[in-house]
């Protein structure tokens, strides 16, 4: 048999066959005078055994010892069984996450513990509809923070989002976000002053007992992200709001 014939009979690709030769799990057979490999039935049987073991999940580097050493079957099967049990647990956990995301109507890349909160925030409550780009900005800022925070920080973030998504607060913060979204070069100083004052009143309704300031690196990342999506007036507004909040604390 040549390479194509044995591969077809064994139900593997010629590329797989060559890979088995390269890693040494299947010895290369003698070649004919024309240079083509000449496989025997013994080679076919060995190839079928290798295929069966790989289908069970045995790594290629474990197959050769398995084939050559008697009494190793129980050890190998125990190891495979433990690995499969661990995989089942991981898959079950993933399915649970998928179910939570579906129930919340959240995007697949949303942290599951924030799924319901982000979905509620995106709904806007009784407030005005927000521009899609502002919804995306809010969501991506939260995702960036969630990635950078430790376990306590993530819990504090979830606590803040829980407060923001309370119906009586959500409508107000959504209205403020809508006003922030339209800040631009034609916005008057009076409009900015009023938005700053209203934002301070909204922030005063929230509690930050568990919240800690983000580390400088995270702050730099947030600033860099804002520079890519916000205009000059919006960034100046946020800088002023943060500075005044820190001065009053």
* Residue 136, in any domain of the structure: yes
pLDDT band at 26 (very low <50, low <70, confident <90, very high): very high
CA–CA separation, 11 and 27 (whole Å): 18
What integer pLDDT is reported at residue 128 of this predicted model?
61
Q: Is the pLDDT of residue 124 over 60?
A: no
**pLDDT (tens digit, 9 = 90+) per residue, 61-87?**
888 887 777 667 777 788 888 988 999
pLDDT band at 41 (very low <50, low <70, confident <90, very high): very high
Q: Is the pLDDT of residue 24 over 80?
A: yes
- Region 37-42: mean pLDDT is 93
What integer pLDDT is reported at residue 64 of this predicted model?
82
* Residue 140, in any domain of the structure: yes
User: How many domains does the chain divide into?
Assistant: 2
Q: Are residues 240 and 158 in the same domain?
A: yes
Map tokens 């591969």 to a residue. 7
* Residue 91, in any domain of the structure: no
Task: Give the three-state DSSP class for 31.
Answer: strand
Q: Are residues 33 and 113 in the same domain?
A: no
Q: Are residues 122 and 240 in the same domain?
A: yes
Q: Are residues 19 and 126 in the same domain?
A: no
Q: Is the pLDDT of residue 229 over 80?
A: yes
Q: Are residues 135 and 21 in the same domain?
A: no
CA–CA separation, 97 and 130 (whole Å): 27
Q: Are residues 162 and 234 in the same domain?
A: yes
Q: Are residues 51 and 113 in the same domain?
A: no
- Whether this model's pTM surpasses 0.75: no
What integer pLDDT is reported at residue 123 of this predicted model?
57
Q: Is the pLDDT of residue 175 over 70?
A: yes
Q: Are residues 234 and 153 in the same domain?
A: yes
What integer pLDDT is reported at residue 62 of this predicted model?
82
Average pLDDT over the chain, rounded to an integer: 87
Domain coverage including residue 35: 3-57
Q: Are residues 52 and 130 in the same domain?
A: no
Q: Are residues 185 and 117 in the same domain?
A: yes
Last residue of a domain, one of 39, 57, 75: 57
Burial of 16 (0-12, 13-18, 19+ CB in 10 A): middle
Could you tell me which of 160, 159, 176 has the C-alpha nearest to residue 124?
A: 176
Last residue of a domain, one of 57, 76, 101: 57
Q: What DSSP element (H or E) covers 119?
A: helix 115-123
Q: Is the pLDDT of residue 122 over 70?
A: no
CATH classification of the domain holding 11: 1.10.1660.10
Q: Are residues 21 and 129 in the same domain?
A: no
Last residue of a domain, one of 57, 75, 91: 57
Q: Are residues 118 and 47 in the same domain?
A: no
Extract the tokens encoding 63: 């197959």
């Amino acid at each position: 048999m040549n390479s194509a014939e044995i591969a077809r009979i064994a139900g593997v690709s010629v590329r797989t066959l060559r890979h088995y030769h390269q890693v040494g799990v299947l010895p290369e057979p003698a070649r004919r005078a024309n240079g083509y490999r000449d496989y025997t039935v013994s080679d076919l049987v060995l190839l079928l055994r290798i295929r069966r073991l790989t289908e069970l999940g045995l790594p290629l580097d474990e197959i050769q010892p398995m084939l050559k050493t008697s009494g190793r079957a129980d050890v190998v099967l125990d190891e495979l069984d433990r690995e499969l049990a661990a995989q089942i647990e991981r898959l079950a956990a993933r399915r649970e996450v998928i179910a939570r995301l579906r129930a919340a109507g959240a995007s697949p890349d949303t942290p599951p513990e924030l799924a319901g909160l982000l979905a509620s925030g995106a709904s806007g409550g009784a407030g005005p509809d927000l521009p899609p780009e502002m919804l995306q900005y809010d969501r991506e800022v939260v995702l960036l923070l969630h990635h950078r925070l430790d376990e306590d920080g993530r819990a504090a973030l979830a606590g803040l989002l829980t407060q923001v998504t309370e119906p009586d607060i959500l409508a107000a913060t959504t209205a403020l976000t809508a006003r922030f979204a339209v800040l631009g070069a034609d916005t008057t100083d009076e409009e900015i002053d009023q938005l700053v004052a209203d934002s301070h009143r909204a922030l005063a309704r929230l509690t930050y007992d568990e919240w800690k300031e983000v580390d400088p690196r995270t702050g730099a990342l947030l600033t860099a992200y804002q520079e890519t999506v916000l205009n000059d007036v919006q960034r100046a507004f946020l800088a002023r709001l943060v500075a005044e909040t820190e001065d009053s604390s």
